[in-house]
């Protein structure tokens, strides 16, 4: 059955017509940690889409809780092989405020990357107390481009092991022109005890 | 013809009713091809930029400059045809070179104090084949005729000097007239390639 309104095709052959304005933030995949060493999103595996289908992709990391105290939650990218080791150059600055009322604001050279294949810190010095966790949003632009480097932008907050709020601003690029077809999250030490990561496609 | 289910109108007058199909609604995509400007004008070419939505988001995907180190910029129109709305803004950045040097600063040369000129939102992107800028700009309530119009952006660029640099811009358009057009261009030369999408946040 076709649904036509005001001369415009709305539904045909079981799908919305492409001309119908719809929401453009599409949930692709949810991964839930359970004492997990890594959580990985790989294009074409387990229903994950991470290619040219969408203009950009957003990862929402919710209440990521480490098994080990004072560790960093981190991200890395794969650029064709099976290893998550794409070369990256990044920036990192942050504001923090402890429950004892100490504050800080500035660039953090300890956790940026210059042409490094190492993982990029998202949550820094995260605590593993029962109520401690980190949250973040990562936007990855056009990962399948074979012309340009791959830009990404992050904002994260964490409940630090020193009982502080950390507000982290991270950005950079994967300095490769091969497609990025996988994204992996892990801790610098120990497992991801619990937490949820959702992948959304934007636009398309 | 409308489509009504259980008392709720789902489709009417050729479009889906608000509240269905998600809250981030795609409006328009412009793709640069050696373009001097990319402009979104309410009512033209299917662009909606009025009180239909309280917030609009522009996303930038691999904006590639024809000219090396030319800033990526935005401006707004407030009733006429010129993109010259008065703005007061902030601009700060963090950058990090592939050579491991970095900088974190407020950049007074890039902010505006009641300026009508373009606002830089991406500083000095390179024009090498793999260099570009990506990011987003939020514009709030552009059709409001009581308040100024707030906007903020985050844009990451691969600079001509082989740095990654993220620019943070925020400000208000100091007019109470509606903003009905937004224009993007390079400070010098064309936008060689790239696309800009406009979304309404329901």
Distance linking the first and last C-alpha atoms of chain B: 24
In a domain, B143, yes or no: yes
* Contact: A114, B99; criterion CB under 8 Å: yes
In a domain, B6, yes or no: no
Tokens describing residue B145: 């005729």
Q: State the pLDDT at residue B13.
A: 66
Per-residue pLDDT of chain B (202 residues; tens, 9 = 90+): 666 766 766 666 666 555 555 678 999 999 999 999 999 999 999 999 999 999 999 999 999 999 999 999 999 999 899 999 999 999 999 999 999 999 999 999 999 999 999 999 999 999 999 999 999 999 999 999 999 999 999 999 999 999 999 999 999 999 999 999 999 999 999 999 999 999 999 8
The answer to whether B134 contacts chain A (CB < 8 Å) is: yes
Rounded Cα–Cα distance for residues A23 and A200 (Å): 12
Per-residue pLDDT of chain A (204 residues; tens, 9 = 90+): 677 777 777 677 666 665 655 657 899 999 999 999 999 999 999 999 999 999 999 999 999 999 999 999 999 999 989 999 999 999 999 999 999 999 999 999 999 999 999 999 999 999 999 999 999 999 999 999 999 999 999 999 999 999 999 999 999 999 999 999 999 999 999 999 999 999 999 986
Q: Are strands A192-202 and A56-66 parallel, antiparallel or unpaired?
A: antiparallel
Q: Note which residues in 40-99 of chain A have CB less than 8 A from chain B.
A: 55-56, 89-93
In a domain, B14, yes or no: no
Cβ partners under 8 Å of residue B8, min gap 6: B17
Q: State the pLDDT at residue B17.
A: 58
Rounded Cα–Cα distance for residues A188 and A165 (Å): 19
The answer to whether A109 contacts chain B (CB < 8 Å) is: yes
Q: State the pLDDT at residue A7.
A: 75
Q: State the pLDDT at residue A113.
A: 98
Q: State the pLDDT at residue A204.
A: 65
| Domain range for B141 | 22-201
The answer to whether A14 contacts chain B (CB < 8 Å) is: no
Shortest distance, CA B77 to any CA of chain A (angstroms): 25
Rounded Cα–Cα distance for residues A77 and A186 (Å): 12
Among A105, A146, A149, the residue to mutate for chain B (most B Cβ within 10 A): A149
In a domain, B17, yes or no: no
Tokens describing residue A4: 């036509």
The answer to whether B113 and B191 have CB atoms below 8 angstroms apart is no
Q: State the pLDDT at residue A157.
A: 93
Taking contacts as CB-CB distances below 8 angstroms, the residues of chain A near B156 are 151-153, 171-173
* Contact: A25, B131; criterion CB under 8 Å: no
In a domain, B59, yes or no: yes
The answer to whether B58 contacts chain A (CB < 8 Å) is: no
Q: Could you tell me the CATH number of the domain that includes residue B50? A: 2.60.120
Place of tokens 């990192």: A92
Place of tokens 């453009």: A24
In a domain, B5, yes or no: no
Domains in chain B: how many in total?
Answer: 1
Q: State the pLDDT at residue B11.
A: 65
Rounded Cα–Cα distance for residues B30 and B37 (Å): 10
Cβ partners under 8 Å of residue B183, min gap 6: B37, B38, B39, B40, B74, B75, B76, B77, B83
Residue B180: name the closest of B71, B86, B47 by CA.
B47
The answer to whether A64 and A123 have CB atoms below 8 angstroms apart is yes
B158: nearest CA in chain A? A173
* Contact: B197, A107; criterion CB under 8 Å: no
- Quote ipTM for the complex: 0.84
* Contact: B96, A202; criterion CB under 8 Å: no
Residue B127: name the closest of B69, B167, B181, B189 by CA.
B69
Tokens describing residue A69: 């105290």
Taking contacts as CB-CB distances below 8 angstroms, the residues of chain A near B166 are 91, 153, 169, 171-172
Please state, in angstroms and as integers, the Cα–Cα distance from residue B55 to each residue in A190, B44, B128, following that order.
41, 19, 34
pTM: 0.89
In a domain, B98, yes or no: yes
Place of tokens 């504050």: A103
């Amino acid at each position: 059955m076709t649904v036509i309104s005001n001369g415009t095709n709305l539904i045909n052959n079981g799908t919305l017509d492409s001309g119908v304005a719809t929401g453009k933030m599409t949930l692709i995949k949810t991964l839930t940690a359970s004492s997990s060493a890594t959580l990985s999103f790989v294009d074409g595996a387990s229903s994950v889409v991470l290619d040219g289908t969408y203009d950009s992709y957003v990862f929402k990391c919710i209440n990521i809780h480490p098994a080990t105290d004072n560790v960093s939650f981190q991200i890395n990218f794969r650029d064709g092989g099976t290893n998550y080791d794409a070369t990256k150059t990044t920036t990192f600055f942050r504001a923090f405020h402890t429950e004892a009322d100490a504050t800080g604001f500035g660039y953090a050279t300890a956790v940026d990357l210059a042409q490094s294949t190492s993982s990029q810190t998202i949550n820094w010095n995260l605590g593993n107390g029962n109520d401690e966790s980190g949250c973040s949003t990562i936007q990855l632009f056009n990962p399948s481009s074979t012309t340009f480097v791959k830009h990404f932008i992050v904002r994260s907050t964490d409940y630090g092991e020193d009982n502080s709020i950390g507000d982290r601003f991270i950005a950079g690029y994967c300095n490769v022109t091969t497609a990025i077809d996988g994204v992996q999250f892990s801790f610098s030490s120990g497992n991801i005890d619990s937490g949820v990561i959702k992948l959304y496609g934007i636009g398309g | 013809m409308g489509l009504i289910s259980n008392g709720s109108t789902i489709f009417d007058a050729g479009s889906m009713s608000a509240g269905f199909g998600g809250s981030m609604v795609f409006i328009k995509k412009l793709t640069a091809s050696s373009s001097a400007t990319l402009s979104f004008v309410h009512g033209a070419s299917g662009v909606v930029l009025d009180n239909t939505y309280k917030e609009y988001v522009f996303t930038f995907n691999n904006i590639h400059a024809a000219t090396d180190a030319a800033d990526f910029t935005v401006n707004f129109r407030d009733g006429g045809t010129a993109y010259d709305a008065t703005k007061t803004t902030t601009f700060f950045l963090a950058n990090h070179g592939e050579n491991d040097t970095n900088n974190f600063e407020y950049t007074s040369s890039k902010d505006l104090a009641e300026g009508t000129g373009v606002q830089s939102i991406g500083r000095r992107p390179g024009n090498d084949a793999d260099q570009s800028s990506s990011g987003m700009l939020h514009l709030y309530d552009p059709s409001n005729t009581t308040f100024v119009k707030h906007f903020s952006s985050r844009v990451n660029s691969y600079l001509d000097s082989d740095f990654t640099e993220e620019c943070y811009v925020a400000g208000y358009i100091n007019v109470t007239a509606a903003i009905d057009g937004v224009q993007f261009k390079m400070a010098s030369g064309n936008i060689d390639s790239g696309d800009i999408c406009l979304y309404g946040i329901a």
